[in-house]
Amino acid sequence: MNTNVNLAGIKMKNPVTVASGTFGYGREFTDFIDLNKLGAIITKGTSLKPRSGNKPPRVCETSSGMLNSIGLQNPGLEFFMQYDLPWLKKYDTAIIVNAIGNTIEEYVELCKVLNTLDIDGVELNLSCPNVKKGCLAFGTTYEGVKTVTQEVRKVLTSKPLIVKLTPNVTDITQPAKGAQEGGADGVSLINTLLAMSIDIHKKKPILANNTGGLSGPAIKPVAVRMVYQVAQAVNIPILGMGGIMTKEDAIEFILAGATAISIGAGNLVKPNISMEIIKGIEEYMNLYNIKDINEITGAVTMN
């Protein structure tokens, strides 16, 4: 049985990764799982300088999911290089850094440094709905995504580049095509859906930022549909995510066209969920006598 996949030039022992922003830099999960068994770790969003994020409250529970408005809080690139990266390198798993910025110039400066680090790839975050500027400002259109990707590609010459797409668009295939045309090696989708929850007693939004990103099982059918659409529109690998809680969820994404999958909110509900899904994928392969996981990527037959 072969569970190895090649995600945009990143070799992984299995197709299971953990989504940016739900796993920190891995330390908090070492009491629950063996990081060596993951296909890859995608770091918390990392910016050039430290970011304090949005005001609290920043998280609230919803039906079949949660809203978050963290605002990309992180300790910054220098701290990551000195403290987190050396620690992550102790483990036998691919390291993909989620890169964030407010301007194209920030993305370029950040990726210029990331290009020199001992990491396996970069996930360019053009999709966070929780910040006042950046990300969605140029992540929602073909031209916007293409422009950012092209500029980053000029400096990120030795690392695979995956562009993370927002689902908050009319046609998800357009930014996906922009990423491909701009030189991306792959795309990841979906990030959270822009949403709101209101405290009916205070008559105010629960989140201090008013709106936030909806994640969890509630968004899975939307995510599967978008992964399928993008798989028909581009010729680069897809990292699929959005509400994956079971092995069945993961297999759905792979059948829809994802080369690999990423677990997000599930990590917060069940810290060892990634290990369960890795095992579950192997059980599914045994059940249907699948010798190579890549055989079923995009293998859905439409009615």
Active-site residues, by number, are: 128
Long-range contacts, stretch 49-52, CB < 8 angstroms, 24+ apart: 49/76, 49/77, 50/74, 50/75, 50/76, 50/79, 51/76
Structure tokens at 242: 């959005």
Residue pair 98/123 in contact (Cβ under 8 Å)? The answer is yes
| Rounded Cα distance, 299 and 296, in Å | 5
Structure tokens at 260: 């690999």
**Cβ neighbours for 302, distance < 8 A, ≥ 6 positions apart:** none
- Omega prior to 162 cis, within 30 of 0: no
Residue pair 237/227 in contact (Cβ under 8 Å)? The answer is no
Distance from CA of residue 146 to its chain's centroid?
A: 19
What does residue 66 show for φ and ψ, rounded to 5 degrees? -155, 155
Distance from CA of residue 202 to its chain's centroid?
A: 34
Residue pair 102/128 in contact (Cβ under 8 Å)? The answer is no
